[in-house]
Structure 1
Amino acid sequence: MPLTVCIDDQQPCYSGNETIRGRITFQTPKPIDIQDIRVTFSGCAKAKVQKVKGSAAPTTSYRSKCVLFEKERILWHPSDTIAPGTYEWPFEFAFPSQVLSGSSRWPETLPFRSDANHPLPPTFAAETADALRKLNCTIDYQIQAQVFSPQQGFLGRKSPLFSEVVRLKFIPVSARLDVKRDGNSAVYQHQKEQVFNLRSMLLLPENRGRSLKLQERIQSWLSPGQLPRFSFKASFTYPSRVIQSTPLACSLEITPFMEDSSVTSPPEILMQSLSITVLSQTGARAAPSLMGALSGQVDERIEILSKTSLGMPVSGTVDLVQAFGPLVFRHTDVSFGTFNISRTYRLCASFVFECAGNTKSFDLPNLPIEIFAEFGEPDKIQSSVEHLPEDDSPPSYTSASTLSTRTFEKS
């Protein structure tokens, strides 16, 4: 290769504020006209949103590109013919920890961020779809060297003679959970609860374990206020912050309310089924333009635990990990949001109880959680960054340290 980029002591993953040093080497076997040689350090978030209309109909694509930061250095400006040989220049950049931006024309819409100078999002690559939208998202950090020839004519297009790119993996400190510093996991434990009220003749000790006769059912239907009553509370405890690919610490607690009940002893409560899933939501949007704007969020279901026909007696606190084994979900990306791309998670849990012939459902469909990388272990960077497109053409930027947004209307 006539142009190479070498980074000194390149890290497997960066987190912000590091100094990146290296050198650019250019080799030419013959005299060549060179205008200048440049090196650019940049971060860019690109999204493509498509409406899904079926395989027979053409789809319209809305694209957005957001420059998170850009730092450029002109290494050499000979503006003349240079002799054959090998040339080398050092470079140095500081990896920012925040988006370097001025005012943004992105509207404030959850789950995206539009605040200036928010934390840089992690390296990211995802392609996903549902019945409504197809999304293709990348967040890329790279150092690019370019050799430009003298510009021909006043309106001549400035394209590089040679170009070389080195991509860098990045996950910000804000997306890393310091287990040692934040060792008190109870701080991140949230609880949801629901009270269930039952009325049934089967609550009486002499009726437990049998089925009601038809006459008893009619009597219960006609006089519900005279039936024995029993109340209990179901509480589900879950972590609101989770480290990638680690078990979820979840528990279920059953508390009888004997003071509010007319029976002398609590009846048996059976858990017949349970389900725990995580919904991973990828969001992308294209900037407003003359052709309009388009956004989409696609959910992917990650099943953690699903059990049916259990008939499992439950009372007091039930540690679901001890009862069913580690609740581990597959390797996922950390949670983040930026101008045009986001990744968020929701925990969904459902339990079905049976007590005194009554079936009660405890449904928790939308519990926000955040996914973090473990602090100090950069090798746990999300797997999707390994699939960044290698043949992606280098983006054209407007100016250094300025966030710019561009929308391409139709593919």
Structure 2
Amino acid sequence: MNKYSSEHIDIIVDTAPQGILGTFIPGQTISGKVIYKPTTQVDINHVVIICKGICFTEITERSGNNTISHYPEKIILFRNLDTIFRGPHTIPAGTYEWPFQFELPIRCNYSRKSHRRDNQYRLGDQELPPTFKLASENFSQPPEAQVSYKLKVKINPGSIIHTIKRAKELPVWSLSSTPLKPPVPLDSYSEGNGRFKSNSLRPTQHTFKEKMKHAFTSDASLKTPEINIAVQFKMPRCVSATQYMPVELACKYTKTGQNDPESPELILDGCTFSLKSYVNVRSSGTLSEHHDNGRETVLSHTIRGNQKLLSHDGSFIPVWEPIRLADMTSHVHRLVPTFSTWTITMWYKMIVKIRVRHVQTGHIWKFESKFPFEILPGEVEVPAYSKQQTSLVEAGPSELYPPQLQSDNQASSSSAGPPEFRDDLAPPSYNSGDVWRTEPNLKRAC
């Protein structure tokens, strides 16, 4: 094995992440240690550690002659470098540790030439954007958009060829300094109408004489029975990933003829939540700017019906216990707060599909609603209004970001201490026919 190998380096972060989801926050001090365990005697000229944030975009375009062009743009949000050891020294095999400490900036600024589409992005001084990566779907040449924060160690033995490196990602989100207000359902809601007309709703089948009379007359007593329902659904459109969302449903049955069932038994068969992120991306070319967009399904979660009969009077009732976005996916770190920066702007759309079933016949009405959705920043602590704190997501660093925050191998101290650091040296669709619509004047529940 090469005596200069990145496998000999480990980065341990001692600072505890903040918030329920376990992320670092702007302004937080990140401290830890670099562990180096060479298996043989090695030369070291210096050891540096870098803490930096990067916003990267790349647009890929295909021209008519089948030429593919790439337009990348890399923005350094910040870059802090510290020399934690300086030689030159020759050290024997063993375990060596060097402490480090950085403070994440609270804000960043980037001067960018003005362009006509600047209104789609956020310019000037702003808070650090959250850690983010677009894995665009259904695109032959998807754009790339990524915001990343990392620690990077470089050990230089005095030769550029043999320089070894090791990097560790840091999940960074902004958090609300105070507990967020509880999500409140909007005044407006989504509603739809469903109709089911069938001879199977008749208590008894028609005789031949009745069938003939039905075919050639308009006798109301022979009309084919039907079930007409109006369904209304509401939930918050603005919530953090760890806030409990009340989800309510109303069903109103209208009897349109004397043959219609008096009180059909209707139950909620289930509901599917699909959250999609939509991203606008831009990057600078030699002569002009380039723009593209992508989308990604962040979560898709289905809840089975509770098999309870629905009321027919149109009153709203909770259909489940309050649920959180964090409970709908095992990839909690993908629930990035809505954000916009110089070259990336990201927002969400929620798609809710409701199924209502008629118990006697098994007929299912399917309704679909789409509406803008916003994910708020995380919370510093467990919100006091939560009634279900016993079921909070235990999503600390070991669950969310094991490669980033935990050591690959627990290093033990060595009797061979590192040479002293010299301060005097400067650091170098559903198609059921049912109608489901969203009211036009939606208000944010925040």
TM-score interval for Structure 1 and Structure 2 normalised by the shorter chain: 0.5 to 0.7
Change (3 A) 1:114 1:208: same
Q: Which residue of 2 aligns with 1:370?
A: 375
Contact 1:256 1:266 in 2 (8 A): no
The CA deviation string for residues 118-166 of structure 1, in whole angstroms up to 9 with x for no partner, is: 332233345343144434443221233557899xxxxxxx979735444
Contact 1:177 1:372 in 2 (8 A): no
For 1:218 and 1:60, locate their aligned partners in 2 and report how far apart those are by CA, in whole Å. Answer: 70
Change (3 A) 1:30 1:183: closer
Change (3 A) 1:49 1:322: same
Q: Which residue of 2 aligns with 1:40?
A: 50
Q: Which residue of 2 aligns with 1:114?
A: 122
> Following TM superposition, by how much is the alpha carbon of 1:192 offset from its aligned partner in structure 2, in angstroms?
0.9
Change (3 A) 1:69 1:195: same
RMSD after superposition? 5.8
Q: Which residue of 2 aligns with 1:339?
A: 342
Whether 1:287 aligns to 2:283 is yes
Secondary structure at the counterpart of residue 321 of structure 1: coil
Identity of aligned residues (%): 12
TM-score between both structures, scaled by the size of structure 1: 0.59
The CA deviation string for residues 225-273 of structure 1, in whole angstroms up to 9 with x for no partner, is: xxxxx99753212133455488754220135799xx999x986474686
For 2:277 and 2:266, locate their aligned partners in 1 and report how far apart those are by CA, in whole Å. Answer: 34
Whether 1:328 aligns to 2:328 is yes
For 1:313 and 1:380, locate their aligned partners in 2 and report how far apart those are by CA, in whole Å. Answer: 42
Change (3 A) 1:15 1:359: closer
> Following TM superposition, by how much is the alpha carbon of 1:62 offset from its aligned partner in structure 2, in angstroms?
3.7
| 1:195-274 equivalent positions in 2, closer than 5 A | 234-242=231-239, 244=241, 249-255=246-252, 268=264, 270=266
The counterpart of 2:180, out of the listed 182, 185, 193, is 182
Contact 2:54 2:149 in 1 (8 A): yes
For 1:165 and 1:105, locate their aligned partners in 2 and report how far apart those are by CA, in whole Å. Answer: 37
Whether 1:10 aligns to 2:15 is yes
For 2:214 and 2:397, locate their aligned partners in 1 and report how far apart those are by CA, in whole Å. Answer: 61
| 1:133-212 equivalent positions in 2, closer than 5 A | 133-146=141-154, 162=163, 164-174=165-175, 181-182=179-180, 184-185=182-183, 187=184, 191-194=188-191
| 1:23-102 equivalent positions in 2, closer than 5 A | 39-50=49-60, 60-72=69-81, 83-85=88-90, 92-102=101-111
What is the identity, as a one-letter code, of the residue corresponding to 1:162?
T
Secondary structure at the counterpart of residue 249 of structure 2: strand
Contact 2:273 2:352 in 1 (8 A): yes
The CA deviation string for residues 67-112 of structure 1, in whole angstroms up to 9 with x for no partner, is: 2222345779x9xxx65357998764321233333456574365xx
Q: Which residue of 2 aligns with 1:276?
A: 272
Contact 2:194 2:228 in 1 (8 A): yes
Q: Which residue of 2 aligns with 1:227?
A: none
For 1:74 and 1:160, locate their aligned partners in 2 and report how far apart those are by CA, in whole Å. Answer: 20
Change (3 A) 1:312 1:294: same
For 1:124 and 1:49, locate their aligned partners in 2 and report how far apart those are by CA, in whole Å. Answer: 17
Secondary structure at the counterpart of residue 55 of structure 2: strand
For 1:369 and 1:127, locate their aligned partners in 2 and report how far apart those are by CA, in whole Å. Answer: 19
What is the identity, as a one-letter code, of the residue corresponding to 1:379?
G
For 1:233 and 1:128, locate their aligned partners in 2 and report how far apart those are by CA, in whole Å. Answer: 36
What is the identity, as a one-letter code, of the residue corresponding to 2:189?
K
For 1:305 and 1:31, locate their aligned partners in 2 and report how far apart those are by CA, in whole Å. Answer: 56
Higher percent of residues as strand: 1
Change (3 A) 1:59 1:298: farther
> Following TM superposition, by how much is the alpha carbon of 1:293 offset from its aligned partner in structure 2, in angstroms?
1.1
Change (3 A) 1:254 1:350: same
For 2:242 and 2:230, locate their aligned partners in 1 and report how far apart those are by CA, in whole Å. Answer: 31
Change (3 A) 1:237 1:162: same
Residues paired across the two proteins, number? 352
> Following TM superposition, by how much is the alpha carbon of 1:172 offset from its aligned partner in structure 2, in angstroms?
2.3
Q: Which residue of 1 aligns with 2:427?
A: none
The CA deviation string for residues 254-312 of structure 1, in whole angstroms up to 9 with x for no partner, is: 35799xx999x98647468654231322526241323751412123274323779x996
Change (3 A) 1:184 1:131: closer
Secondary structure at the counterpart of residue 126 of structure 2: coil
